[in-house]
Amino acid sequence: MNERSAAAPLAAGKPAAARKKMNRLPFRLEIDPSAPDSPWWMMIASVLLALAVCGIFIAANGMDPFVVYKKMLTGAFGSSFGLTETLVKTIPLLLAGLGVSIAYRISVWNIGAEGQFIAGAMATTAVTIYFPGLPGYAAIPAMLVSGVAAGGVWGLLTAIPRTYFQVNELITSLMLNYVALLALDYVVFGPWKDPKGFNFPGTPMFTEAMSLPVLGSTRLHLGLVFALVSVALYALLIRYTRWGYELRLIGANPEAARNAGIRISRHILIVMLISGGLAGLAGMAEVSGVAHRLMYGISPGYGYTAIIVAWLARLNPAGLIVSSFLFGGLIVGGYSVQTIGLPSSTSSMLQGAILFFLIAGGTLGKFRLRRNG
């Protein structure tokens, strides 16, 4: 008993002694939540570090990383065909990336752009299924409105639980992606399946009147105009309108915005309606401008890549155009490296590495060295 009693104060004293010793250190490392965002060069550094780390894995696979990166670069930007294909991939990334950027502006973490994209594509296709005789001047606007509305409603399914029941939007937006994917599987394998499609899981091909106009003999379509106009409107609204000012205030200091009489719950609903609507517009543009039918795997993950696009652009309108063009090139470049024996998922590896270094750089930038005493 006596030994235990003597040992207890010693054991209890060790943490206190360790803390005292720690306090004698001249500096301490801590996280500063009020630290400014990462500098602009951190974006470039993240891309370069991702290329370097992925190059190690490519070399481990027996390939020269410089040869692979050159093949990706020339495949995406080295010809008129590659450039137009990169622009085709840029369209859904820019629209979906713009959508999640608007939500992130007020710290609503919408990761459901994939589901909103699919909802927009399904609603667009529904117009072609149930109103097949519509002329082009009526069909395209109807498809546009349907796609935007469906994506917006899908976004509200995340916003309403967040606003009224304090349900974490990360969970609901992510789970709704799977609901949309299962709904897509149901219609393309079931009631909307093309009876003349040789058992292919897809709907009948759209008519010419229900397809977006394209540029010459390329696949570059009117969706590019939709995307650029949307970015321009976003830039003007954020910078020059009261609504944009309120969004910026909510993102910078929600408590100050609440004290100023701004109804944050209303803004969350409006922002998620717009965010989902833009992703739904991306789905409409893809299914009507590129695929010309709804099919299994209509999205190769545009909604998820849009998250990286938004992070890399730091929610800046001009940055969104640049980052979506870069990632469009990554996707096309991923297809190019298949000709030299690498899978197209090489581009997915690069995308993930870029996001990792972006997040890591932002976190490290908030660490501060403080002087004790």
List, in sequence order, every residue forming a beta bridge with 367; answer none if it has no partner.
31
Q: Structurally, what CATH architecture does the domain formed by 89-341 represent?
A: Orthogonal Bundle (1.10)
Question: What digits encode the pLDDT tens for the residues 116-173?
Answer: 999 999 999 999 999 998 998 999 999 999 999 999 999 999 999 999 999 999 999 9
Q: What percent of the chain has pLDDT over 90?
A: 73
The model's confidence at residue 220, banded by pLDDT at 50, 70 and 90, is: very high
> Can you give the pLDDT at residue 37?
65
Distance from C-alpha of 10 to C-alpha of 6, rounded to nearest angstrom:
7
Question: What digits encode the pLDDT tens for the residues 53-84?
Answer: 999 999 998 999 999 999 999 999 999 999 99
The model's confidence at residue 327, banded by pLDDT at 50, 70 and 90, is: very high
User: Taking 60 as the threshold, does the pLDDT of residue 203 lie above it?
Assistant: yes
Distance from C-alpha of 361 to C-alpha of 216, rounded to nearest angstrom:
43
Question: What does each C-alpha distance from 45 to 48, 57, 70, 342 come to in angstroms?
Answer: 5, 19, 19, 25
Secondary structure class of 27 (helix, strand, coil): strand
Mean pLDDT of 210-216: 93
User: Taking 90 as the threshold, does the pLDDT of residue 29 lie above it?
Assistant: no
The residues spanned by each domain of the chain are: 89-341
